Structure 1
């Protein structure tokens, strides 16, 4: 599968490597915390989250996180990881890795608040992205970031990819083809990218990368391996996959105006991301993520 690990890290290997590089953490308990397409995360000593790349393609993203997140964190209204321990390749591990203070919370995809009761979370995330997308942050923290390296903000590029992902879900029996979605994606194949200068974006903002606290409040934004300069639509995809109705209105009230070309690009990317996550969740047996991702596809074109 496309998310298969090229180097699988175990808790034992992580403990040995962390203890060797950072003596103050030697002997600290190490336990698996999360696994994604590109990284494996371990909880170390109960208070640190160490991220180890699983695939070589993820290494530039880890390097961008190490270089960027400390400058971004003080300027944002929600917590994000800040690398405190930075490890270079060696000791049997081929790539850089880092440890940041553990952000408490559970993934939105795991909590799955009911639709109609997501407005407070939506408003917090809209305010968060309003701050992140401030053009003034670009010279302060983003001058060396690449510009949309995988063309997530280009609807003409992403529309056929989204259609292909949705076809794969239909082939798996997970979702019936939707003519309305197909017409929307067909029309987007000729759409120009949104107008405007690029800003700093998270780059891969979806239901696994938003943490919720015990009362369902937004508690943090994690996994910044795709941080780059791009059109804001790349992150605004979250507004269309995670929220609908009054919940989405709360997000947009906090964020501000989204012009039609940016909204279209965000909806196209939302379909692609939600369909990709649904396929991954189905293959890996992640029931909560599957349910949230399929619901997200349904939300994208909802009012």
Structure 2
């Protein structure tokens, strides 16, 4: 299983402070004096908390650089649409530009206080169903023709058929997943591939919607973060969260809250995408135990929900 890619630029507090001091003071006059602390390092980006209310989001490798620009472009309008739902998104307050010391676009965004969904017990996420459904209703509107393109998120499932089967076979061969579970996931995937495709205009989608990108505070869903994969296409990709985030009771509430928006074929495709995310996380989570645990729990939901 592949390890997390190495950073292509060394990001430290001195670099972040220099970027903030050089570009942010006109919009955020006290930014240079705020406390600074690294809080996250993913495959693509680092996040540094800036004071109590802000965060700095910086790509750590070249493939992530266009994703930050996509966020800078798409998130302001998305944030406005989601505002009435009470679910926040980290729309950039400052769109930073490259310098001699740092080669890519970067952002200062609002800090959305709370705990990540991964750290909330699955059975306790059911109250998130209605607000998440409302947020997705606000997000899933027709996108303009020049929307950001993502080659793997929200596309027809058939385009990902080969990679799904390759990953599943590798997991099966390594003993990461048993034969019975593998066959059940394969069955859910095939049903999605064979279901009618999305034929309406592409709608905005988050593109990476799972509990790690949900934020809750005191039992309430308050934010959706990490829009690096924002694109447009089939909303079924986002609806896979029904199996990734919820147990059966929460999923029932979530589907009821979205009942008038999506047809049965969309839900079949959504479950197939959930199976694909399970396989992806099991393939790529050697250094992220929480995501491997998420994948194992979600597999049970995908397989058991028939």
Same fold (TM over 0.5): yes
- Matched ranges for 1:40-51 at <5 A: 40-51=46-57
- Matched ranges for 1:50-89 at <5 A: 50-76=56-82, 77=85, 78-89=87-98
Matched position secondary structure for 1:68: helix
In structure 2, the CA distance between the partners of 1:107 and 1:166, relative to structure 1 (3 Å rule), is: farther
Q: Which runs of 5 or more residues in structure 1 are unaligned?
A: none
Q: CA deviation at 1:145?
A: 0.8
- Matched ranges for 1:166-205 at <5 A: 166-177=168-179, 178=181, 179-190=183-194, 193-205=197-209
C-alpha contact 1:17 1:91 (8 A) present in aligned 2: no
In structure 2, the CA distance between the partners of 1:202 and 1:31, relative to structure 1 (3 Å rule), is: same
Residues 1:251 and 2:254 aligned together? yes
Matched position secondary structure for 1:218: strand
C-alpha contact 1:209 1:223 (8 A) present in aligned 2: yes
C-alpha contact 1:159 1:268 (8 A) present in aligned 2: no
Q: 1:96 aligns with which of 102, 105, 109?
A: 105
Q: CA deviation at 1:252?
A: 1.1
Q: Which runs of 5 or more residues in structure 2 are unaligned?
A: none
What are the Cα deviations for residues 121-164 of structure 1, in whole angstroms up to 9, with x where unaligned? Answer: 122211211121134xx4xxx45313553353312122432333
What are the Cα deviations for residues 188-234 of structure 1, in whole angstroms up to 9, with x where unaligned? Answer: 45555323221111111112111111x22211000111111111112
| TM-score normalized with structure 1 length | 0.87
Residues 1:153 and 2:151 aligned together? no
Residues 1:302 and 2:304 aligned together? yes
C-alpha contact 1:11 1:30 (8 A) present in aligned 2: yes
> In structure 2, what is the equivalent of residue 235 of structure 1?
238
> In structure 2, what is the equivalent of residue 206 of structure 1?
210
| TM-score normalized with structure 2 length | 0.86
C-alpha contact 1:158 1:269 (8 A) present in aligned 2: no
> In structure 2, what is the equivalent of residue 280 of structure 1?
284
Q: CA deviation at 1:102?
A: 0.4
> In structure 2, what is the equivalent of residue 125 of structure 1?
132
Q: Alpha carbon RMSD of aligned pairs, Å?
A: 2.3
In structure 2, the CA distance between the partners of 1:169 and 1:204, relative to structure 1 (3 Å rule), is: same
Matched position secondary structure for 1:274: helix
C-alpha contact 2:190 2:272 (8 A) present in aligned 1: no
